[in-house]
Amino acid sequence: MPKIKSIFRKSIEKIKPYKPGKPIEEVKRELGLRKVIKLASNENPLGPSPKAIKAILKSISDLNRYPDSNCFYLKQKLAKRFGLKEGNFIIGNGSDELIVLVLRALIEPGDEVLIAYPTFLIYEIQAHACGAKVIRVPLKSFRYDLERMREKVNPRVKIVFIANPDNPTGTYVTKDEVNKFMEGIPEETVVFFDEAYYEFAKDFPDYPDTLQFLGKKNIIITRSFSKAYGLAGLRIGYGIGSPYLIDHLERIREPFNVNILAQVGALHALEDKDFLEKTMEINRKGKEYLYSEFRKLGLSFVPSATNFILVDIKRDSREVFQALLRRGVIVRDMKDWGLNNFIRVTIGTKEENERFIKELRRLII
């Protein structure tokens, strides 16, 4: 068959698609397994917030109606929580959608996007899709090198992405580092703080309060209901920025981008303090257990401010990933991030963590 000339933009042809963690049902089906645990996508092992579930069940009869396109009540609650105005918020189909919206709103041919490497892959994928030139700054000891990134800022850099805490390393940049970085950032450069794991890190004494930059710098802060609140399947996140910036993002946001159940679930999950506290406690205990077991196995890891841990397994990560998969344990292979001997494991329930360690021990001892 003759080769067909591509009809697509060159920037699209060069993109390698993002590969999400394998779903439990797919692994069961493909490998004929009955019991499979998933520790790959940093989901909440406790399930969704009970308050969210209760509210969602009451809203099912409204599914014949379009959702509130403005997410009025959720914006109102978020504004009250953070002492801001509704106009400071935009709600997205997951915070990933907000990454895409910011890029679509700002990037023109010849513009540059500044990222760390390795970091969340969507920044680079979607920046290329918009035709931007991507500038990578290598991590330093598994942490963002903000000093080096600041040196790379120039008039062509439209967006700087900062994942804090970072995925896949689990590390975070401190208050002092962020304050120093923000000094002298030009007005035409937007700094995008991706705080999807905010709830897990916010109580660290040196974790930055990025809200302080609202009104002073062009920033957007995004957070998620997928992780701590257990609503990954509903796809909902929110962005915080100046009314001027938010207004321009709203102009290109798809109408009805957030469904009824997601809006209701997020609204009530915000009120579920008991569930959030339980999530933090099980995460803390699970992290301590996994740290201890990794040390016993002689494995190094990156101390994490999130609900996952990056582990150096000292051998080909894809082989270990496949071997664990055959044993019904789904983790994340880090080869796509250039971390060839690493896996990323989500902190699960006590039983899930113990099963993971049991199967890992069989492979490496």
Q: What is the pLDDT of residues 240-284, one digit of tens each?
A: 999 999 999 999 999 999 999 999 999 999 999 999 999 999 999
Distance CA 92, CA 145 (A): 29
Q: What's the length of the chain?
A: 365
CA angle 141, 161, 10 (to 5 degrees): 110
Q: Which amino acid is at 103?
A: L
Q: Could you tell me the pTM of the whole model? A: 0.95
Close Cβ partners of 60 (under 8 Å, ≥ 6 residues apart): 261
Chain centre to alpha carbon of residue 314: 26
Residue identified by tokens 């399947």 is 233
Query: What residue ranges of the chain have pLDDT lower than 70?
Result: 1-4
Residue 364 has what pLDDT? 86
Distance CA 145, CA 236 (A): 30
CA angle 364, 172, 24 (to 5 degrees): 45
The 8-class DSSP code of residue 81 comes to H
Residue 143 has what pLDDT? 98
Distance CA 77, CA 51 (A): 15
Residue 214 has what pLDDT? 94
Residue 2 has what pLDDT? 56
Could you tell me the CA-to-CA distances from 274 to 49, 67, 357 in Å, in that order?
A: 9, 28, 29
pLDDT tens by residue, 45-61: 999 999 999 999 999 99
343 closest CA partner among 314, 305, 317, 315:
317
Distance CA 215, CA 205 (A): 24
Q: For domain 50-269, give the CATH number.
A: 3.40.640.10
Domain ranges of the chain: 10-47+273-364, 50-269
Cis check: omega of the bond before 45, within 30 degrees of 0? no
- Helix (H) or strand (E) holding 201, with range, is helix 198-201
CATH architecture of 10-47+273-364: Alpha-Beta Complex (3.90)
Distance CA 163, CA 272 (A): 26
